[in-house]
Structure formats: C-alpha cells, structure tokens
Amino acid sequence: MLIGIHVRNFGILHRTTIGVTRDQLRKQAVHDFGRFDGSGRYPLNQLTVLIGKNSSGKSSLIDALSFVTDCLKHDVQVAST
C-alpha cells in the first residue's frame, strides 16, 4: 500500500511530497507512533483525490507514479522510453 510519495525534478514537480514518507514515519515512530506531528501530513488512503488549478502538477504526479510502476514491472530503461 502506498502511504506517501516524494517527487523531485519530474515535470513541473520540483520538490513535492504527498502523504507520509518513510523518513517521516521513522521520526514519528521515535516520538509517538499512531499520531502525527501536526505537520498536516497523513498517510494516503485507498482513495485519494487530487484537486488543484490548471498547471499545478496533478498530471505530472500521475505520470511520476506511472513511471515508478513501469520501473518496478520492467526496468528503468524500458520505463524511460
């Protein structure tokens, strides 16, 4: 299950984090597992809705997820083409 993603330098997304990343979970586990630090980041659910104005990166995020999927299914060379 995907609970978060951090994207850098992919299309319009220069540095974008959605959900909770592995590093954030590690920091949180040390403090108080089960509650989050108030940063406004929560794990992604089974249904996540992307809402934003035009040219804000919604399609770029979907393309980045598709790229990762292709990397896992095949390899980076195939995913890059």
Amino acid at position 59, single letter:
S
Determine the pLDDT at residue 35.
55
- Contact yes or no for 20/10 (Cβ under 8 A): no
Structure tokens given for 55:
């040219």
Determine the pLDDT at residue 11.
86
Q: Is the pTM of this model over 0.75?
A: no
Q: Is the pLDDT of residue 70 over 60?
A: yes
Tens-digit pLDDT profile for residues 19-62: 888 877 777 655 555 555 555 567 788 888 888 899 888 999 99
CA–CA separation, 12 vs 34, rounded Å?
33
Q: What CA–CA distances, in Å, run from 11 to 8, 24, 48, 55, 76?
A: 9, 24, 21, 11, 17
